[in-house]
Amino acid sequence: MVKDTRTIPIHQIRKGEPAWVKALLITGAIGILVILIGIPVLHVFYRAFENGLKAYWTSLTGNRDTLHSIWLTLSIAPRAVLLNLIFGVAAAWAVARFRFPGRTFFLALIDLPLAISPVVAGLFFVLLFGMNGWFGEWLDAHGLQVLFGTPALVLATSFVTLPFIVRELIPVMEAYGDEEELAGISLGASGWQMFWRITLPNIRWGLLYGMILCNARAMGEYGAVYMISGRISGLNDTMPLRVEKLFQEYDMAGAFALASLLTLLSLVTLGLKTFLDKKYPVHEKSKEGQE
Cβ at position 101, least distance to another protein in Å: 13
**What is the distance between the alpha carbons of residues 262 and 239, in angstroms, rounded to a whole number?**
7
Output the CA–CA distances (angstroms, integers) from residue 236 to 33, 252, 264, in the order listed. 35, 21, 22
Question: Residue 40: is it exposed, middle or buried by C-beta count within 10 angstroms (0-12/13-18/19+)?
Answer: exposed
Cβ 147 vs Cβ 211: under 8 Å: no
Q: How far is the CB of 92 from another protein (least distance, A)?
A: 18
Considering only the C-alpha atoms of the chain, give the largest distance between any 2 of them, rounded to a whole number of Å: 73
Nearer Cβ to another protein, position 15 or 291? 291
As measured in angstroms, the least distance from the Cβ of 178 to another protein is 9
Which positions ≥6 away from 126 have C-beta within 8 Å? 133, 147, 227, 228
Nearer to another protein, 18 or 289 (CB): 289
The answer to whether the beta carbons of residues 67 and 254 sit under 8 Å apart is no
Those residues with Cβ within 8 angstroms of residue 236's Cβ, 6 or more apart along the chain or in another chain: 72, 148, 149, 150, 153, 229, 230
Please say which residue, 185 or 235, places its beta carbon nearer to another protein. Answer: 185
Residues 138, 144, 145, 150: is their CA dihedral positive or negative?
negative
Cβ proximity to another protein, 159 vs 205, nearer residue: 205
Report the distance separating Cα 109 and Cα 93, nearest Å.
Answer: 16
Nearer to another protein, 59 or 202 (CB): 202
To the nearest whole angstrom, how small is the minimum distance from the Cβ of residue 110 to another protein?
25
Q: Whole-angstrom Cα distance, residue 153 to residue 163?
A: 17
Q: Can you say how many angstroms the Cα of residue 207 is from the centroid of all Cα atoms in its chain?
A: 12
Taking the C-alpha atoms of residue 119 and residue 93, their distance in angstroms, rounded to an integer, is: 30
Residue 209 vs 226, nearer CB to another protein: 209
Q: How far is the CB of 283 from another protein (least distance, A)?
A: 14
Question: CB-wise, 42 or 187, nearer to another protein?
Answer: 187
64 or 197: CB nearest another protein: 197
CB of 157 to another protein, least distance (A): 32
- The minimum distance between CB 33 and another protein, in angstroms, equals 38
CB of residue 104 to another protein, shortest distance in Å: 16
Where do contacts with another protein occur on this chain (CB under 8 A)? 176, 179-180, 182-190, 193, 197-198, 201-202, 288-291
Helix, strand, coil tally for the chain in percent (to 5): 80, 0, 20
